Amino acid sequence: MLETISTILKIIIAAGLISMGILAILIWVRDRTKRVTCLRIFIQAASIPLIFLGLIVGPFGLPQYPQVGNAPRDIVIGTEIFGRPFPDGLSVPVLACWYPSGRTVTCPIWQMQAYLYPFWETGVGFGWGIIYTTTGLERLAIVFGLVILMALLLGRAFCGWICPFGFYMDLLSYIRRAFGRPYRKMSDKVNVALKQLRYVIIAAFMIISVILGSKAIFGVQLVSGTEKGGYLYSYASAPYCQVCPMRPLCVLCEVAIGAMNSTFVFSHTKGLFYEAGYYITSINMAVLVFVTISALAYRRLWCRICPLGGLTGLFSRFPPFKKISLLRLEKDKEKCTKCGICKRVCPPQIKEVYEKEGGDVTTSACILCLRCIEMCPYDDCLKLTLAGKIMFKSRNWLESN
Amino acid sequence: MWPPIEISDIYLGSLVLGLFYGLSLCAPSCLPHITSYIAGVGAGLRRALAITATYNVGRITAYTLVGSLAYMFKLLIDDVNIRPYQSYASIAFGLVTIIIGASLLKRGDKSCQCSLHDASSFHKNNVFGKVDAGSFAMGLTRGLIICPPLMTLLIYGVTAPNPLNPLLMAFLFGLGTTLSPIFLLGGIAGWLLNKATLWKKWIRLAGAGILLILGISAMLSSLVIL
């Protein structure tokens, strides 16, 4: 009981500090072309401790390997949904990797893949040493339900404002800017191709997950090693996570701050290039290095191909979800002079805000960072609405500055 | 706990058995072929569903054919004869898969030269316009490979005096298997892949290539058994 009260108090204090920070930014940042960006950076930075709150307020949790100290899932805030434990954390459409310690929320892509494996089962174990009281179907329903709900509420604003990997991408852009180097622009064709690649990645990993999990789902083993206790069951039950750049970034950061036991982590990371490790694989590392170097040149590079962003986009910008999604970027065609600023400042290089005549100009690739609204020099030309209510709108910053 | 359900009617039993088989064992064995074919032809949601339906029609036809042949040649249903039959059926399935894969691979280069507009109009004309011969042929040859539950049904059916008995049982079993998760998975895969218009050429090549590999592996494994 005391622990719960203490946690609630800590969360209230954290929320209070964040609110004060937001107010301070709005009061002190006078340059109107930087106010939204400053607010966004602050929220991104504040989201990281919230996502990994278990490192601060824990441990509450599930000591899987007490003999080796802090290992993944040693410190995790258990979640309850409808009175039933949901030990992997709530599904929020941000790359909040499942593998490191202390996370309060979890990447839904991991959950969707992993829950296919012990599809019908409850109980102890099943590869991850976690006790589930819900069946695989219930877990999948919770994950899809939460993702659809959140996508309908905030769309890809999660990518622009909360995702830790998006913040990492932004930091790399700021580093480049600190050296006075301008951004590089991708050709439109390559940019569109990258955005479309998200759907290929989602489709490919959906099919791969079902094939690898066929033993658990259909009772027929299509690939050897996918049986319980098999090599692929243990290591590749979440195939996308074997290539995701967020996993090594999270794990290495936590190893660096001492939140994860380096000996334990690296003892599970073995083998040659083709061999999968549990926490970090060679492929993971190669993707992270490639994305890091490329993101120094191109803004928000990963966000253009991120399958999680694609999934959030699917559930917010495509029929039938498009009609009921609450967050929209709207344009007043009477006030737009086609100056092209919105197109130039957009981090993922979206053209639709510039090209579309007016009305709802949100696209599935838009991360709703609101840089276009911030930089648009015409009063009320661009605005962000939540359920029809205006949240942000463009201002004539030329005069006010 | 509910008491076990007893199905006294053999026809209803065949349908239910097909239904359970379609929901479980049947889906993963057909999924790689169907999704590769959907990728190979560059189908969208509606066409993917139509392809899956045509594939299922092919399977039902094959099951019905097997049912009628089983009655005519009762010798087929024993352990000595069934093994070579299964191997030859598997080789036929592999061969058809290879031919379809190769033709898609050949067509892939040509059809991807067209513009986006041409591609979409091509799909519109082909959604329900004509029968997809490739998926039908694949379903037909896949259905010729007798799965264990169908085998059980046929062994029971051939003892009946009425020649329509095994035929109807096999047909109803096939009808039951059509309600399968591959409809959902194939449809979603087609819907997603169709959004990547700039990758269409590569998706088609990948789909055709996988079909070739699946066909070759099916043939090789059958030849080894023979």
Q: What is the average pLDDT value for chain A, to the nearest integer? A: 82
Bridge partners of A382, per DSSP, are A331
Q: What is the pLDDT of residue A7?
A: 72
* Residue B196: pLDDT over 50: yes
CB pairs under 8 A between A and B: 56
Nearest residue, CB atoms, A207 vs list B29, B35, B203:
B35
Q: What does the pLDDT read at residue B110?
A: 58
CB under 8 A, 24+ apart: contacts of A284-291: A284/A242, A284/A243, A284/A244, A284/A245, A284/A247, A284/A248, A285/A248, A287/A243, A287/A244, A287/A245, A288/A245, A288/A248, A288/A249, A291/A245
What amino acid occupies position A344? R
**E strand spans, A289-355:** 327-331
> Are B196 and A200 inside 8 Å of each other by CB?
yes
Determine which helix (DSSP H) or strand (DSSP E) holds A158, and give its type and residue range: helix A157-161
Average pLDDT of the segment spanning A292-309: 93
Residues of B in contact with A214 (CB under 8 A): 28, 31
First-last CA distance in chain B: 47
Are the CB atoms for B203 and B72 separated by under 8 Å?
Answer: no
Is residue B211 less than 8 Å (CB to CB) from chain A?
Answer: no
- pLDDT value, residue A62: 45
CA B22 vs. chain centroid, Å, equals 11
Cβ–Cβ of A189/B193 closer than 8 Å? no
Q: What residues in B contact A220, CB-CB < 8 Å?
A: 24-25, 28-29
* Residue in B2, B21, B38 with CA at minimum distance from that of residue B152: B21
Average pLDDT of the segment spanning A54-71: 52
Specify the pLDDT at position A4: 74
Q: Which class for A356: exposed (0-12), middle (13-18), buried (19 or more C-beta within 10 A)?
A: middle
Domain membership of residue B28 (yes or no) is yes
Q: Are A101 and A51 in contact (CB under 8 A)?
A: no
Instruction: Name the percent of chain A lying above pLDDT 70.
Output: 83
Ranking A41-55, A97-111, A112-126 by mean pLDDT, the lowest is: A112-126
Return the pLDDT at B225: 74
pLDDT tier at A400, thresholds 50, 70, 90: low
More confident residue, A265 or B29: B29
- Residue B17 belongs to domain spanning: 10-225
ipTM of the complex model? 0.80
* Closest partner CB to B28 (pick from A200, A203, A211): A211
* 3-state SS assignment for residue A323: helix
Q: Is the residue at B3 inside a domain?
A: no
Beta bridge partners of A85: A80
Give the C-alpha separation, B129 to B126, whole Å.
Answer: 5
Structure tokens at B99: 């031919």
**3-state SS string for B165-191:** HHHHHHHHHHHHHCCCHHHHHHHHHHH
The stretch A334-343 carries a mean pLDDT of: 92
Average per-residue pLDDT for chain B: 82
| Residue of A187, A201, A202, A223 for testing the chain B interface, max B β-carbons within 10 Å | A202
Q: Does B217 touch chain A (CB under 8 A)?
A: no
A354-358, B10-14, B147-151 — which one is most confidently predicted on average?
A354-358
* Nearest CB neighbour to B27, from listed A197, A199, A218: A218
Chain B, window 89-148: residues with a beta carbon less than 8 angstroms from a chain A beta carbon? none
Residue B208 belongs to a domain: yes
pLDDT band at A113 (very low <50, low <70, confident <90, very high): confident
Q: With an 8 Å Cβ cutoff, are A222 and B28 in contact?
A: yes
Least confident of A164-173, B6-15, B16-25, B189-198: B6-15
Q: Count structural domains, chain B.
A: 1
Residue of B nearest to A189 (CA): B198
DSSP A237: S
Q: Which of B26, B37, B112, B198 to mutate to test the interface with A (most CBs of A within 10 A)?
A: B198
Contact check, Cβ <8 Å, B185/A197 = no
Rounded to an integer, what distance in angstroms lies between the CA atom of residue A205 and that of residue A210?
8
- Check whether A10 has a pLDDT greater than 80: no
Split at pLDDT 50, 70, 90, the class of A80 is low
State residue A273's pLDDT score. 45
| B27 contact A CB<8A | yes
Instruction: Measure in Å the smallest separation between the Cα of A295 and chain B Cα atoms.
Output: 23
Instruction: Give the CA dihedral B224, B59, B55, B226, nearest 10 degrees.
Output: 10
pLDDT band for position A81 (50/70/90)?
Answer: low
Least confident of A155-169, A319-333, B70-84, B108-122: B108-122
More confident residue, A122 or B152: B152
Q: Domains of chain A: which residue ranges?
A: 327-400
**Using one digit for the tens of pLDDT, what is the confidence trace for A149-206?**
999 999 999 999 999 999 999 999 999 988 988 888 899 999 999 999 999 999 998 8
**Span B125-138, pLDDT tens digits:** 444 445 688 999 99
**What are the tens digits of pLDDT across the range A240-277?**
888 899 998 998 888 888 777 777 777 766 655 445 56
Question: According to the model, what pLDDT value does residue B114 have?
Answer: 46
- Tell me, what's the pLDDT at B146? 87
Q: Between chains, do B25 and A218 touch, taking CB under 8 Å as contact?
A: yes
- Could you tell me how many residues make up chain A? 401
The pLDDT confidence band at residue B76, using thresholds 50, 70 and 90, is low
**Residue B31 phi, psi dihedral angles, 5° rounding:** -55, -50
Indicate yes or no: CB of A203 within 8 angstroms of CB of B189.
yes
Please, which residues 32-71 of chain B have a Cβ atom closer than 8 Å to chain A? Answer: 32, 35
Whether residues B196 and A192 touch (CB distance < 8 A) is answered with no
